[in-house]
């Protein structure tokens, strides 16, 4: 092993030592730190020296210098194709990185869409949605969005401009890292987050059109996967060995595209990098004359499936760890698995895991989002013993969740819905929800909960558009049940008893132990004059919660308009709910 003392550190006062180590293979670091290709790894573990700060200098091979572009907390190195934030490398799909570089390098002018297509996509035709998703991916990774436009500004009918202040400097830069056990704990936790490498599609290399379609699908997949929180994404080449330490990924996405006549067949496999074990596989068919449609369809469905399968695989991995070795992310995964079962005891056990995770890392936003959601489930399930006190605590946790979840749309969706559920101004909650949906526009979960918020506010037409969008976004079984529940409620409030009953029965079939389905079945039957069936459904509700009375429904169902609440309460009274 070789050690270096960068010349940058010799003039520091008080004296400070930074140990930078490189193994002969050039890839392996010792300790906790950050590094990159073609350079040295920083060892930033605490050492017994008299200083309050560790300074890490990153040198290129042979002490050569390069130019870097710096803006806000970011450093862009175009020669190494690296983007770093506070010294830590940020993974970007190739086209997203190219787009960012082009915008930064031409920040003195408005960059037109034609310019981007000619340079970033080398003249290949791409859809408006593809271009928009790449612009959004750039904004998201920089902590920007289409409303703030703090970094990338849209110039109407012209193009885009990079507007953040940029300074250029040599690549050999000192980065100060506070000596903090919390920081080291966070870095250790991040090193355990799952990572996935996306291989190029296997195609018929003689078919130019097929190669272009395959490249487009892969780019859409990379952008879609980067939207997933707590997942590192890398673009692999055909020559990369996913099991090699240098590749550094836990999972590999491999795919092939074949054509037969006027059709494409796309096969996709998710593999464990170390073992080659198949975690998930699927295939898709499309007509050759709709390449843009298949790009969006495949990227959306694969992203959703991978999210579910990775969470399942990661949870199984964590279950094999000793309790003493569990970190904040591990407790989050275990809590998620328990909460997904839906039972009261499972939710209580999940809450314990979320609290454990917060104690280990008070800045891990997903734990707060999940904990806030547990309070929503407790209210939905009629499990709260002190509704006023527990609702106040749920609102407090939800407020923390939305403030700490800029990089996690799911945590922000959960937090913003919980905030509204426990009494916050719905305009504020809708703003948070819309921000999350801009970051992850493919989230069925976000779309139907956003619709639920609008339904609570009495904006039923707009609510149903969002709930309908969620129904078309490949929801899972639990999400389909919630979509049916919200659709039932919307029809009930509009006086469409037959439509309400149809959706209530669908909800009951998907979630036969959910008290909300009991109540909606009872109210829908009662509104349609079917009092015998209404009484049967009411029996199920009262067996689940014998203490529920008509005057307590307002603490169970989130409807802000008194007239809407009365429609539901009247249906329950007619079905036999005591006053």
Query: Residue 221's closest CA among 313, 117, 142, 296?
Result: 296
Residue 317 pLDDT exceeds 90: no
The predicted model gives 184-191 an average pLDDT of: 48
Backbone angles phi, psi at 376, to 5 degrees: -60, -45
CA–CA distances in Å: residue 195 to residues 228, 235, 273, 301, 563: 11, 11, 10, 19, 50
Residue pair 198/253 in contact by the 8 Å Cβ criterion:
yes
Residue 188 pLDDT exceeds 80: no
CA dist 493 and 530 (Å) reads 17
Neighbour-count burial for 48-73, b at 16+ CB within 10 Å, e otherwise: eeeeeebbbbbbbeeeeeeebbbbee
Q: Higher confidence at residue 49 or residue 166? A: 166
Residue pair 445/481 in contact by the 8 Å Cβ criterion:
no
- One DSSP character per residue, 222-266 reads HHHHHTSTT-EEEE--TT--TTSTTT--SEEEEEEEEEETTEEEE
Beta partners for 57? 174
Q: Among the listed ranges 215-219, 225-229, 518-522, which one has the minimum average pLDDT value? A: 225-229
Angle, helices 208-226/128-141, rounded to nearest 10 degrees: 40
**pLDDT value, residue 574:** 96
Beta partners for 196? 233, 251
pLDDT band for position 239 (cuts 50, 70, 90): low
Residue pair 279/268 in contact by the 8 Å Cβ criterion:
no
> Tokens 């719905």 label which residue?
426
| Rounded-to-5 percentages of helix, strand, coil across the chain | 50, 15, 35
The predicted model gives 507-535 an average pLDDT of: 96
Please give the distance of CA 490 from its chain centroid, rounded to a whole number: 28
Q: Is 462 helix (H, G, I), strand (E, B) or coil?
A: helix
**pLDDT value, residue 171:** 57
Query: Residue 78's closest CA among 107, 101, 111?
Result: 101
Mean pLDDT over all residues of the chain?
80
Q: Which domains does the chain have, with CATH numbers?
A: 1-62 (no CATH), 66-171 (1.10.10.10), 192-314 (3.40.50.10070), 376-575 (1.25.40.10)
> Tokens 């042979």 label which residue?
62
What confidence tens digit (pLDDT) does each residue in 468-505 have? 999 988 888 899 999 999 999 999 999 999 999 999 99
What confidence tens digit (pLDDT) does each residue in 64-73 have? 456 788 998 8
**pLDDT value, residue 111:** 92
**pLDDT value, residue 129:** 65
CA–CA distances in Å: residue 504 to residues 154, 519, 538, 574: 44, 9, 13, 17
Q: Which residues contact 311 (CB under 8 A, 6 or more apart)?
A: 333, 336
Q: Which residues contact 465 (CB under 8 A, 6 or more apart)?
A: 451
**pLDDT value, residue 527:** 95
pTM of the prediction?
0.65
CA dist 513 and 341 (Å) reads 11
- Residue by residue, what is the 3-state secondary structure of 541-573? HHHHCCCCCHHHHHHCCCCCCHHHHHHHHHHHH
Q: Which residues contact 371 (CB under 8 A, 6 or more apart)?
A: 351, 354, 355, 358, 397, 401
Residue pair 149/103 in contact by the 8 Å Cβ criterion:
no
Q: If you count DSSP H runs as helices and E runs as strands, how many of each does the chain have, helices first?
A: 19, 18
Backbone angles phi, psi at 139, to 5 degrees: -60, -45
> Tokens representing 388?
């006023």
Query: What does the radius of gyration of the chain's CA atoms come to, in whole angstroms?
Result: 26
Query: Residue 125's closest CA among 135, 136, 133, 116?
Result: 116
């Amino acid at each position: 092993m070789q050690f270096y003392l960068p010349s940058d550190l010799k003039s520091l006062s008080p004296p400070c030592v930074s140990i930078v180590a490189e193994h002969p293979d050039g890839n392996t670091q010792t300790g906790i730190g950050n590094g990159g290709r073609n350079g040295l790894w920083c060892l930033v573990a605490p050492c017994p020296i008299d200083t309050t700060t560790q300074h890490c200098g990153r040198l290129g091979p042979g002490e050569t210098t390069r130019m870097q572009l710096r803006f806000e907390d970011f450093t862009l190195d175009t020669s190494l194709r690296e983007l770093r934030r506070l010294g830590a490398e940020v993974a970007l799909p190739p086209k997203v990185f190219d787009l960012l570089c082009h915008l930064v390098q031409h920040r003195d002018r408005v960059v037109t869409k034609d310019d981007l297509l000619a340079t970033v996509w080398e003249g290949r035709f791409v859809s408006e949605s593809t271009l928009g998703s790449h612009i959004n991916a750039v904004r998201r990774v920089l902590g920007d969005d289409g409303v703030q436009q703090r970094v990338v500004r849209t110039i109407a009918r012209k193009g885009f401009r990079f507007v953040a202040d940029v300074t250029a400097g040599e690549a050999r830069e000192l980065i100060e890292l506070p000596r903090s056990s919390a920081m080291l704990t966070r870095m250790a936790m991040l090193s355990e987050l799952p990572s996935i490498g996306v291989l190029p599609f296997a195609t018929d290399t003689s078919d130019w059109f097929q190669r272009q379609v395959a490249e487009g699908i892969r780019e859409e997949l990379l952008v879609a996967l980067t939207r997933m929180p707590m997942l590192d994404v890398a673009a692999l080449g055909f020559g990369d060995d996913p099991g090699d330490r240098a590749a550094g990924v836990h999972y590999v996405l491999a795919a092939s595209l074949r054509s037969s006549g006027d059709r494409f067949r796309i096969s996709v496999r998710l593999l464990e990098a170390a073992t080659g074990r198949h975690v998930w596989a699927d295939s898709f068919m499309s007509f050759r004359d709709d390449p843009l449609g298949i790009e969006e369809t495949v990227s959306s469905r694969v992203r959703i499936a991978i999210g579910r399968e990775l969470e399942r695989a990661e949870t199984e991995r964590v279950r094999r760890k000793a309790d003493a070795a569990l970190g904040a992310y591990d407790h989050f995964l275990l809590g998620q698995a328990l909460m997904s079962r839906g039972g009261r005891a499972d939710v209580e056990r999940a809450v314990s895991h979320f609290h454990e995770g917060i104690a280990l890392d008070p800045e891990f936003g997903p734990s707060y989002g999940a904990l806030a959601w547990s309070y929503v489930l407790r209210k939905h399930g009629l499990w709260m013993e002190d509704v006023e006190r527990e609702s106040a605590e749920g609102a407090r946790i939800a407020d923390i969740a939305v403030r700490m979840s800029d990089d996690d749309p799911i945590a922000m969706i959960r937090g913003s819905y919980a905030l509204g559920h426990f009494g916050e101004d719905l305009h504020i909650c809708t703003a948070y929800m819309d921000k999350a949906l801009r970051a992850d526009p493919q989230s069925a979960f976000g779309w139907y909960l956003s619709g639920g918020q609008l339904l609570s506010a009495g904006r039923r037409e707009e609510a149903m558009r969002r709930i309908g969008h969620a129904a078309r976004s490949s929801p899972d079984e639990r999400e389909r049940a919630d979509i049916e529940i919200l659709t039932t409620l919307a029809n009930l409030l509009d006086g469409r008893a037959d439509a309400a009953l149809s959706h209530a029965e669908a909800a009951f079939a998907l979630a036969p132990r959910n008290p909300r389905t009991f109540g909606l079945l009872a109210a829908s039957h009662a509104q349609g004059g079917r009092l015998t069936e209404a009484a049967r459904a009411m029996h199920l509700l009262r067996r689940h919660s014998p203490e529920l009375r008509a005057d307590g429904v307002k603490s169970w169902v989130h409807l802000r308009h008194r007239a809407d609440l009365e429609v539901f309460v009247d249906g329950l009274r007619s079905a036999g709910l005591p006053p």
